[in-house]
Chains A and B, each alone.
Chain A
């Protein structure tokens, strides 16, 4: 089972090493050694940090991925201004020195190793004795390195990889590998940030040029403006940001100026030179296009995660004569079992959905099954976190009960006689206010 879980990550690591080996073909041995060390080091670091609650290995890896993605953006913009630059054509010396090549290789392999081991849960890892685990990690790293070397030798010598092609492929493979791990995935948080960013940008732009509010605008026009505030814009905007770097690189490659042939008076030579340049251009398009496919896979994995969430059906509850909802801590449902327990309260035509949860620090919390930002699609519980179904934001269990951002909106409650007591009016009013606000967002209100 562990092996099956790791297959996509190991394949990604294999491709990554293959790309690195071909890109730095003249330093094959040192690159191979560095990659195997990097893979092992990444895995060891994550294992080590997991046992130390102070530093989160996920934060480290996610930051690394974020920086990698930003660097990819930088490279993709830069090559469009340096279309004929050495960076696009040559992979030896000059722009990429030995040190940079090995440092880049180490970093990429480190991230790949770390991501792969992060896929495994603590329980799965606990089945191995530590020494055996470390040994297995090193053996797997060596096998991946060996496999990549073998494949690289089979590859036609005509296929050359430029530093730009290497960067786009490496970052895409790492993002793909990370996309199947909720806490490392970048695409969903990116979509969420885009949704919020576009909302703010449109809102601020309209305010800047003094455009009247939705009260005065035709509903049909507002529907179009309102579209900009929806989840779809976040998703598609995220897609644009996600896919633009390889597209920009592909554009830079394909719009590269062909060599001047005006000075050649023989047609065949002229054609030969042009055809050679065009063929090379097409070969250089391979990696950006491959990266596009890999990034599409990452976006798909992120949008349709295979993780199963704990998402119980809300249990209907009623208030007593004093307007209080009373939920016993023990009984059919054990409120303090660390899982979220969802309830539905109805009062005439109004209703409110909420859940009770015992957080890891032992505190009970009562929260709306909705946040102050998103459409109230509710939350599901995964390992160590709850996830907002609307924006796919992960909320660590420790922070559930604290207001702000996409956290579930907390509801004041008391504990009396081994039961949780909630004021029904407060609950329904808070739900009303929250849903009214977020529905306005959904409908494009400002």
Chain B
């Protein structure tokens, strides 16, 4: 059994003539927090989308959690995403007319079935026990992102993907969110891949890779904060 949760070999993604991700070999051990840095258009989000099963590569191999994502059908990919991946976006993508708890329960619904008590518990874990019945518009940016975290972890994913999760947050909220993610990772033991262009945010991870023009240009190990 491979110790890596993610293994890529020559992973490529092209859009017509444009090669968004050039052949990439990457291994991510289970439980690692990997930060992916780079400028806009460097291929960070493309990599994350491929790893999360949101997009299909145009070349190379891609194994996530023992699954060969290239061999999966659309249904298989959807099932993989449901069972394996939790995603936090920069834009929170919460349903505006549902309350915080309903947004979390919706994720449960698509995964399996809703369970209000469990959703409530998840929101309590991210410190939003008092905001269960509030709609996203009634929450601060940090609170919205915490709802997203609750939504992302509610189905106990093995892999948590963050696409600039703190991009829209002030410093205080960013720290709060990162501390929360760290605490939850300690409890749930999921693997984190965090795309960011913020050095401070990247520093929360165990390892950072730098992409430039679709290529892995640098890799550095971090000291835990």
Quick check: is A272 within 8 A (CB to CB) of the other chain? yes
Quick check: is B113 within 8 A (CB to CB) of the other chain? yes
Q: B156 — which chain A residues lie within 8 A by C-beta?
A: 266-269
User: In the complex, which residues 155-200 of chain B have their Cβ closer than 8 Å to any Cβ of chain A?
Assistant: 155-156
Query: Interface size on A (CB < 8 Å)?
Result: 11
Q: A266 — which chain B residues lie within 8 A by C-beta?
A: 156
Q: B155 — which chain A residues lie within 8 A by C-beta?
A: 268
- What's the nearest-Cβ distance from chain B to residue A402, in Å? 65
User: In the complex, which residues 269-328 of chain A have their Cβ closer than 8 Å to any Cβ of chain B?
Assistant: 269-272, 274-276, 278
In the complex formed, the residue of B with least CB distance to A275 is B112
The distance in angstroms between the C-alpha atoms of A271 and B156, with both chains bound, is: 11
Instruction: Decide: A272 and B111 in contact? CB cutoff 8 A.
Output: yes
Q: A270 — which chain B residues lie within 8 A by C-beta?
A: 115
- What's the nearest-Cβ distance from chain B to residue A273, in Å? 8
Instruction: Decide: B113 and A268 in contact? CB cutoff 8 A.
Output: no
The distance in angstroms between the C-alpha atoms of A276 and B112, with both chains bound, is: 8
The distance in angstroms between the C-alpha atoms of A276 and B121, with both chains bound, is: 23
- The B contact surface, by secondary structure, is loop
Instruction: Decide: A275 and B113 in contact? CB cutoff 8 A.
Output: yes
Using known A-B contacts A267-B156, A268-B155, A271-B118, determine if residue A278 contacts B111 with beta carbons closer than 8 Å.
no
The A-B contact count (CB < 8 A) is: 29
Instruction: Decide: A278 and B115 in contact? CB cutoff 8 A.
Output: no
Instruction: Decide: B113 and A267 in contact? CB cutoff 8 A.
Output: no
Instruction: Decide: A267 and B118 in contact? CB cutoff 8 A.
Output: yes
The distance in angstroms between the C-alpha atoms of A268 and B112, with both chains bound, is: 8
Query: Interface size on B (CB < 8 Å)?
Result: 11
- What's the nearest-Cβ distance from chain A to residue B193, in Å? 20
Q: B83 — which chain A residues lie within 8 A by C-beta?
A: 272
In the complex formed, the residue of A with least CB distance to B117 is A267
- What's the nearest-Cβ distance from chain B to residue A50, in Å? 52
Quick check: is B154 within 8 A (CB to CB) of the other chain? yes
- What's the nearest-Cβ distance from chain B to residue A47, in Å? 48
Q: A272 — which chain B residues lie within 8 A by C-beta?
A: 83, 111-112
The distance in angstroms between the C-alpha atoms of A188 and B87, with both chains bound, is: 61
Interface centre among A266, A267, A272, A275 (most CB of B within 10 A): A267
Quick check: is B103 within 8 A (CB to CB) of the other chain? no
Q: B154 — which chain A residues lie within 8 A by C-beta?
A: 267-268
- What's the nearest-Cβ distance from chain A to residue B112, in Å? 3
Quick check: is B99 within 8 A (CB to CB) of the other chain? no
Q: A278 — which chain B residues lie within 8 A by C-beta?
A: 113
Q: A268 — which chain B residues lie within 8 A by C-beta?
A: 111-112, 154-156
Quick check: is B108 within 8 A (CB to CB) of the other chain? yes
Q: B118 — which chain A residues lie within 8 A by C-beta?
A: 267, 271
Q: B115 — which chain A residues lie within 8 A by C-beta?
A: 267, 270-271
Q: A276 — which chain B residues lie within 8 A by C-beta?
A: 112
Q: B112 — which chain A residues lie within 8 A by C-beta?
A: 268, 271-272, 274-276
- What's the nearest-Cβ distance from chain A to residue B29, in Å? 22
Interface centre among A269, A274, A275 (most CB of B within 10 A): A275
In the complex formed, the residue of A with least CB distance to B121 is A267
Q: B108 — which chain A residues lie within 8 A by C-beta?
A: 271
The distance in angstroms between the C-alpha atoms of A267 and B117, with both chains bound, is: 10
- What's the nearest-Cβ distance from chain B to residue A35, in Å? 31
User: In the complex, which residues 95-139 of chain B have their Cβ closer than 8 Å to any Cβ of chain A?
Assistant: 108, 111-113, 115, 118, 121
The distance in angstroms between the C-alpha atoms of A274 and B115, with both chains bound, is: 11
The distance in angstroms between the C-alpha atoms of A278 and B111, with both chains bound, is: 13
The distance in angstroms between the C-alpha atoms of A270 and B83, with both chains bound, is: 13
In the complex formed, the residue of B with least CB distance to A273 is B112
The distance in angstroms between the C-alpha atoms of A274 and B113, with both chains bound, is: 8
Q: B121 — which chain A residues lie within 8 A by C-beta?
A: 267
In the complex formed, the residue of A with least CB distance to B119 is A267
In the complex formed, the residue of A with least CB distance to B122 is A267
The distance in angstroms between the C-alpha atoms of A21 and B157, with both chains bound, is: 39
- What's the nearest-Cβ distance from chain A to residue B212, in Å? 37
17 more A-B contacts (CB under 8 A) besides A267-B156, A271-B108, A272-B111?
A266-B156, A267-B115, A267-B118, A267-B154, A268-B111, A268-B112, A268-B154, A268-B155, A269-B156, A270-B115, A271-B112, A271-B118, A272-B112, A274-B113, A275-B111, A276-B112, A278-B113
| 19 residue pairs A–B, Cβ–Cβ below 8 Å | A267-B115, A267-B118, A267-B121, A267-B156, A268-B111, A268-B112, A268-B154, A268-B156, A269-B156, A270-B115, A271-B108, A271-B111, A271-B112, A271-B113, A271-B115, A275-B111, A275-B113, A276-B112, A278-B113
